[in-house]
Amino acid sequence: MTEKQPDLGDPSLFSSTYVRLAALAVLGLLVSAPFVVHGSDSGLLSMFNAPLMWVDRDASARREFNEFIDLFGAHDMIVVTWQGCEVDDERLREAANAIEKVQSDRAASNQERLFNNVFSGKTLLDSLTSMPIDLSRQVALDRLNGVLVGQDDKTSGLVVELTEYGAVQRRETIPLIKQTITNAIGIPEDELIITGPAIDGMAIDDESSRSIQQYSIPSILISLVLCVVCLRSIWLTIPILAVGAWAQGFMLASVYYGGETMNAILIVLPALVFVLAVSVGIHLANYFLEEIDAGEGSNAPRRAIRKATGPCVLAALTTAIGLASLCISDVEPIRQFGFLGAIGVLVCVGLLFLMLPGFMVIWLKVSHGRYIPRTRHHSSGNADGASASDWLSFASVSGWIARYSLVIRTLCITAMIVCGFGLVRLRTTIDVVSLLSEDNRAVKDFHWVEENICPLVPIEVVIYFDRDSNVDPIDRLRIVAAIQNQISQIEVLEGTMSAVTFVPSFPRLTGLGSTIRKTVFLRQIDQSRDDLIESHFLAESERGDAWRISARVKGQAHFDYGQFLDRLQTEVDFVLSKAEEAGYHGISSSSTGVLVLVYRIQKMLLADLFYSFLTALALVAVVMMVALRSIPAGLLAMLPNVFPTLVLFGTMGWFEHAIDIGTVMTASVALGIAVDGTFHFLKWFIQSLNDGESKESAIKIAYERCGGALIQTTIICACGLMIYSFSGFLPVRHFSWILLMMLVAALFGDLVLLPALLAGKLGDLLGNVNPSSPDTTLPPASTELPK
């Protein structure tokens, strides 16, 4: 039988409503392009990553940290050193003096303070070995070991504590520190070894911005080539890639025009929205090509839009739900990610439905007489009728899945259960070494300082003595010293410093002359009080005196933060309980610092991953049940959509692979992507059942109708994302790999697990419900397009 040849339209098609709508959409993109470009560039320039600021101000951990800053003024610290820098190097004093002069000059000109305190191994050693402290050199070095002097008792450096303003204005502060030290001691800036949270944050800013600037255009070009190859039409590719590219800029511009600051979490949003736009566009284009293959000709755009509206809108809605579920997060950037992502998906779908039909009409005109319909394998009889010659055809694959559907269902569900137990072993990380590649200069300097001088991740313990406390000054120091000594026993803690570090050794307060020794020591403490306040290890407040114990943990150390913080609190409470037994009262404590907030954020990330996914799952399940008009069918149809997240995240849990900020959002996103393919497959399956086909035949038809589009979408999006795997910003690199694997797993779920379910109970349920589909009632093929 001769295959029906397509009627490829006439010139009047250019006056159709579809073309006019497409022209308006293109005009809108062109008009908005300058604003989008400006907004995206400005958004990238506003990049500022400070995980401490991601926690809500009313969170207890953030309140305690803010109280600590108010008391002691200490925020981020920057460590500066160089090869061959030793504790007796006079250049350390010169560098410290130069920084202090900059501070005094700024104060004289009424400029905001950038630095809170400046000290070096040299200045600390001199202070400890001179009057009134007058320690021996070795005792002084022992006190400074792991604080600002290395294990060799030689290697040292300079510490600059930043004010909150100085930490926020790090692009002004850091170059000023480098230039000042270079001018003072003559060491070139590129030979300085400089590290600290502000340095790490600026390196993250630069790498994350570079990821978008370097890889977004290659990603679009790769997707362009693959789209043309798969769709065989530049006219269908142009609107898909135009919307995708515009959407990337739109996401960045939305951050800027919304008055927000770009950060490491939002940086993966443009690539995600691009992938989702391409996915919807590929499906929509394939509906059109299906109609062309069927010989519908000039009526193909209208029929394609009628058939695609239901599944595409449902897929966009569920994807938006998956993203919007992140809005329940306690971490501000993740809330922004969810909200902006949901808006971006809906805007992209709207633009594609405005633009693509018009370009379909144009394509019909310009390709007149040159389009060759795609060939398909049509096996006679049931889905098992594929011959050996077409063993790779969709018909043969669908037949194979139908035959072994029970085995496939059993294996997949077993894998989901086993992997699901791995979810409880998931852990997160936002350490600097987890965000930047090892060849980054900031990471190299970070490692060098930790290996040769001191740990860099701070933990702060504050001991409060109320105004009505009955503890005298000497016993206050003794309690602080006891706590400092007690927490020093914790294995991962290296280097502690407190007011005890800067006072003479405790005198013997028993025996002959004890009263005199006590009186002298009290006078020394009283004389040192102003110095201790100036060095920010003692603070006065309405509550009373606050004594600071500053400890450091190696950022490269792998340990359970929760267990460490519990152990820390246990050791502090042990000493305080002994003080209470001795009759002292009015003493309390708190723990804060970067480590506490990092732990808090990591717990939030895991909670966000869990609760946002459950929220999205519940909402998408409701949409699925309503769409299929059956609760059991809707629940069964959700299995292929849960499959990617359970298998991948569960596997990462079993292998104890830490997930970072680039990975935590992909669970809800993967759900939306998987549901996209599920709706399209179910649409063709249900329509075939309504046409009187058997389950096996309906599966084969669904394979033939949308299997190619699903594979094309996966290939194009996966290859477009692969370019980001070269990024030096690890969250973007990990995001690309995880989302790529999610796409492949979602494809498996839609083309293997879903057909296996349809061959079983799910197919029976849909056959019994047999919901009417509004897009199966189409006008005759001769119906004209709207003019």
CATH number of the domain residue 511 falls in:
3.30.70.1320
Output the pLDDT for position 430: 65
Output the pLDDT for position 194: 95
Domain shared by 159 and 242, yes or no: no
What does the pLDDT look like over 530-583, one tens digit per residue?
Answer: 888 888 889 988 888 999 998 888 776 666 777 888 899 999 999 999 999 999
Confidence of residue 370 (pLDDT cuts 50, 70, 90): low
Domain shared by 488 and 525, yes or no: yes
Give the separation between CA 157 and CA 177, rounded to whole angstroms. Answer: 14
Domain end (from 545, 568, 592): 592
Structural domain count, the chain: 3
3-class SS of residue 510: coil
Q: What is the mean pLDDT of residues 321-333?
A: 81
Give the separation between CA 725 and CA 474, rounded to whole angstroms. Answer: 59
Pair type for strands 158-162 and 115-120: antiparallel
Domain end (from 129, 162, 195): 195
Would you say residue 371 has pLDDT above 70? no
Pick the most confident of 9-13, 23-27, 293-297, 514-518. 23-27
Domain shared by 186 and 207, yes or no: no
Would you say residue 42 has pLDDT above 80? yes
* Selected residue with higher pLDDT from 509 and 300: 300
Q: What is the mean pLDDT of residues 661-665?
A: 70
Distance of CA 774 to the CA centre of its chain: 40
In a domain, 382, yes or no: no
In a domain, 439, yes or no: no
User: Which residues pair with residue 589 across a beta bridge?
Assistant: 463
Domain shared by 670 and 553, yes or no: no
Burial per residue of 101-140, b for 16 or more beta-carbon CB atoms within 10 angstroms, e otherwise: ebbeeeeeeeeeebbbbbbbbbbbbebbbeeebebeeeeb
In a domain, 28, yes or no: yes
In a domain, 2, yes or no: no
Would you say residue 136 has pLDDT above 60? yes
Domain end (from 562, 592, 622): 592
What does the pLDDT look like over 404-429, one tens digit per residue?
Answer: 999 999 999 999 999 989 888 887 76
Confidence of residue 266 (pLDDT cuts 50, 70, 90): confident
Output the pLDDT for position 755: 92
726 residue type, one letter: F
Domain shared by 684 and 553, yes or no: no
In a domain, 434, yes or no: no
Output the pLDDT for position 417: 93
The pTM of the full predicted model, rounded to 2 decimals, is 0.78
In a domain, 275, yes or no: yes
Confidence of residue 786 (pLDDT cuts 50, 70, 90): very low
Domain shared by 245 and 264, yes or no: yes
591 residue type, one letter: S
Contacts of 568 (CB under 8 A, 6+ apart): 459, 461, 487, 490, 591
Contacts of 529 (CB under 8 A, 6+ apart): 538
Give the separation between CA 576 and CA 581, rounded to whole angstroms. Answer: 9
Give the separation between CA 780 and CA 214, rounded to whole angstroms. Answer: 50
* Residue carrying the six token digits 């989702």: 276
Residue 492 domain boundaries: 449-592
Domain shared by 559 and 641, yes or no: no
Would you say residue 659 has pLDDT above 50? yes
Q: How far apart are the first and last CA of the chain?
A: 35
Alpha helices per DSSP H over 60-196: 60-72, 90-108, 121-129, 137-144, 164-168, 170-185
Domain shared by 656 and 755, yes or no: yes
3-class SS of residue 716: helix
User: Which residues pair with residue 551 across a beta bridge?
Assistant: 459, 496
Under 8 Å between Cβ of 685 and 758: yes
Confidence of residue 472 (pLDDT cuts 50, 70, 90): confident
- Element housing 160 (H / E): strand 158-162
Give the separation between CA 727 and CA 733, rounded to whole angstroms. Answer: 6
Closest CA to 302 of 500, 13, 72, 524: 13
Give the separation between CA 139 and CA 757, rounded to whole angstroms. Answer: 74
Would you say residue 392 has pLDDT above 60? no
Output the pLDDT for position 510: 64
In a domain, 564, yes or no: yes
In a domain, 57, yes or no: no
Output the pLDDT for position 509: 62
Domain shared by 236 and 284, yes or no: yes
Domain shared by 191 and 207, yes or no: no
Domain shared by 327 and 414, yes or no: yes
Q: What is the mean pLDDT of residues 655-680?
A: 77
Output the pLDDT for position 774: 38
Output the pLDDT for position 375: 52
Under 8 Å between Cβ of 211 and 728: yes
Pair type for strands 538-540 and 77-82: unpaired
Burial of 253 (0-12, 13-18, 19+ CB in 10 A): buried
**Rounded mean pLDDT of the chain?**
83
Q: What is the CATH number of the domain that holds 289?
A: 1.20.1640.10
What does the pLDDT look like over 617-656, one tens digit per residue?
Answer: 888 888 888 888 888 888 898 999 889 888 998 998 898 8
